[in-house]
């Protein structure tokens, strides 16, 4: 299923029973360009800016990749922590992503409640994997304080190399498939085609 379509389905699942679910066109029309909580571009902007960046990279022979960063056990976090603490976690992860991308041409955005996207420019497969791994470790090392306790969160990351001209949704869909694999293999890890190759060889 295309990423944009699966995102719309996840959005409608959050609606109160009995309310009419908005159409995909309605959701796109009302979505702002900037996420009010994190200040990052939204999914709508990620699509708008991402496609021409892909085309430019391919025409110039610049390596690039798409990654989806997903907070592990986000539902449990929502159920056990107050809204302000959850917001603090989301803002902190957004800041980590923004800091990692600073000084580069990378595009980053908040895609969904617990998902962030990155379009990595100028990184080949190995370098993109290293970039995502450093980001994952940086997020895991962050401690959050809630009352008398502190805690940390982890993320799973799906990474897909851009190999040829496709619609932008296809790259996100490929990254999402690798994200599902990261989740199914225990979470708190980066998964890409290189991971699959290494696992097959071992």
Tell me how far apart the alpha carbons of residues 97 and 110 are, in angstroms, rounded to a whole number: 10
pLDDT (0 to 100) of residue 32: 87
Q: Domains in the chain and their CATH numbers? A: 3-11+36-201 (3.30.70.270)
Q: Give 7-44 pLDDT, tens digit per residue.
A: 544 454 444 334 444 445 555 556 789 999 999 999 99
pLDDT (0 to 100) of residue 197: 66
The DSSP secondary-structure symbol of 47 reads H
Q: Give 62-71 pLDDT, tens digit per residue.
A: 999 999 999 9
């Amino acid at each position: 299923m295309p990423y944009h379509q699966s995102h719309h389905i996840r959005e409608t699942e959050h609606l109160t029973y009995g309310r009419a679910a908005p159409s995909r066109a309605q959701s796109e029309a009302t979505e702002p360009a900037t996420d009010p909580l994190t200040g990052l571009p939204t999914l709508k902007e990620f699509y708008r800016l991402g496609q021409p960046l892909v085309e430019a990279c391919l025409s110039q022979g610049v390596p690039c990749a798409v990654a989806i960063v997903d907070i592990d056990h986000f539902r449990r976090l929502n159920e056990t922590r107050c809204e302000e603490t959850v917001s603090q976690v989301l803002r902190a992860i957004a800041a980590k992503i923004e800091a990692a991308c600073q000084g580069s041409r990378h595009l980053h955005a908040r895609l969904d409640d617990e998902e962030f996207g990155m379009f990595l420019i100028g990184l080949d497969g190995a370098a993109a994997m290293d970039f995502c791994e450093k980001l994952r470790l940086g997020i895991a090392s962050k401690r959050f304080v809630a009352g008398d306790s502190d805690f940390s969160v982890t993320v799973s990351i799906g990474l897909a190399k851009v190999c040829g001209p496709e619609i932008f949704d296809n790259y996100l869909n490929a990254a999402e498939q690798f994200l599902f694999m990261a989740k199914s293999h225990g979470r708190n890890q980066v998964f890409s085609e290189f991971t699959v190759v290494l696992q097959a060889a071992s």
